[in-house]
Structure 1
Amino acid sequence: MFNLISPLKMMSVVLVLFGFGAIAAIYTLEKAQFSDANPYRAVMILASIYDLILLGLAHVGWRWLWRKIPLLGSVLFPDLNGRWRMTIHWSGVDGGGEVEASAVIKQSFVSFSIEVQSDGSDSETLVVQPKKDPESGRPILYYVYRVVPKGGHDLSAGSYEGAAILKFFEGHSHGLRGNYFTSRNTQGRFELQRA
């Protein structure tokens, strides 16, 4: 999600907040008549505390913030963490079909991954890029992955890569849907619903 906000804007916000905190710390020290206290030490302690708070918010605390302020999910990006039921519709040279799978999405403010497991294979994330559609504002995931067949399921072909564009839908069809293609010359559609 960090990619959704300009890094320069994010740095600007962090620096402004830190500046206000440093001014407040120095003012508090002077008001408490600690004239011999080293204001630089106070600022360094404040900076360390501020860094710990930002680290906590980036990895865990942002979900609490999203629950408290639901508007953030629509303004920035929704919280997609959790287990999803996945249906994979595929077609290729040898025909087509449908496979049921399960997906686990792990999302923090600075990282994103999608792990998929089915009876015949597992997939691992190579790249996931969250974006917002510039016209509709709909959340979109650009997803590149590697599929590794499980023992006894088409091991002769080995692992292969694929790419998908998944769009987030709200309302009665709440979930992620989108088309994909692979380096095995197969293509199809992913449909994910919360488990």
Structure 2
Amino acid sequence: MHTYSTDTDRRVKVSAALGILSFLLTANVGFVTEAIGQFVPLGLDPSVVTTGMVFTIVLYIFSKKVWSLGLLNTLGIVTVPDLSGRWEGTLTPIDSATDSNKELTSDEDVQVEVRIKQTWRHMLIQLETDKSVSESLGASFVTDKIDPKIHYHYENSPKPGTSNTMSPHRGSAELTFVQASRDQLRGRYYTGADRQSYGEINLQRTNSRRSILDLI
């Protein structure tokens, strides 16, 4: 997975808060281990536990499990939407080379399946059709909108046995995350200079979002 950027400094503030939490946990680790040790022998020497060690653990748990809980997004602690999961939808090529200079959408939609892996700082977007597979190389979020947007660039590779007219290429996509449904992405894709094509993307998430119950 690759890193992704955002348009806010919220990560810095959250990291600072996690650092303070780690310091408080470290300062009280002796009390915690003593209390738990009455029931479960931990055999842990509190003097060997440092703030850095605790911060590493806290950051890992937050990045992998906690950050994507809907409650944190509702409170504004995390502004980046959680896009992880499986998505299905269509690509609709657009032809703008007309005498009237108007865009014409194709009647032949391309069925796609998208798999997105995402943590608090990293993500990977993989889009697959019956003829090719593309993977994201980098991404950025714009969250100061009613509906957040993600812009990413990708590399596309044809599947073995496809037409000789298809070749590896790079492109980009800009998608809007529809807050009302929280399971819909729509936008446009643009291919590189060698192909010079673009079109619309419409995706629907097929698996449910995580809740606080997933931590139990």
> Under a length normalisation based on structure 1, what TM-score does the superposition of the two structures give?
0.75
Gap regions ≥5 residues in structure 2 = 33-45, 98-103, 207-216
**Residue of structure 1 equivalent to 2:93:** 90
The Cα offsets for residues 126-159 of structure 1, whole Å up to 9 and x where unpaired, read as 1122221x3x332111111111111222345420
Query: What percentage of aligned pairs have identical amino acids?
Result: 25
- Map of 1:134-145 to 2, 5 A cutoff? 134=144, 136-145=145-154
1:25 shift after superposition: 4.9
Mark the CA change 1:60 to 1:12 in structure 2 (over 3 Å): closer, same or farther: closer
> Which structure: greater helix fraction?
1
Question: Take 2:136 and 2:200, find their aligned partners in 1: how far apart are those partners?
Answer: 17
Distance between the aligned counterparts of 1:130 and 1:53, measured in 2?
A: 24
Instruction: Read off the aligned partner of 1:41 and give its amino acid letter.
Output: S
Q: Provide the aligned C-alpha RMSD in A.
A: 3.3
Query: Please, which of 56, 74, 83 is the counterpart of residue 71 of structure 1?
Result: 74
Per the TM alignment, residue 68 of structure 1 is displaced from its structure 2 partner at its CA by 5.6
Alignment partner, residue 52 of structure 1? 57
Which whole-Å CA distance do the structure 2 matches of 1:193 and 1:101 have between them?
Answer: 11
Q: Judge conservation of contact 2:89–2:112 (CA < 8 Å) in 1.
A: yes
Aligned to 1:110: 121
**SS of residue paired to 2:64:** helix
- Do 2:19 and 2:55's aligned partners in 1 also have CA atoms closer than 8 Å? no
State the distance in 2 between where 1:163 and 1:192 align: 16
Q: Counterpart of 1:158 in 2: which secondary structure?
A: coil
2:16 maps to 12
Alignment of 1:4-43 (within 5 A): 4=6, 5-6=8-9, 7-25=11-29, 41=47
Q: Secondary structure at the match of 1:181?
A: strand
Q: Secondary structure at the match of 1:171?
A: coil
Task: State the aligned residue count.
Answer: 181
Moved more, 170-179 or 49-58: 170-179
- 1:137-185: CA deviation from partner (whole Å, max 9, x where unpaired): 3211111111111122234542001111100113369500111210110
Q: Match for 1:175 among 179, 184, 193?
A: 184
Instruction: Choose between structure 1 and 2: higher strand proportion.
Output: 1
Q: Deviations over 1:56-114 (max 9, x none)?
A: 22123434xx0565625895122221110120011357x95420010001111111111
2: CA distance, partners of 1:48 / 1:138? 37
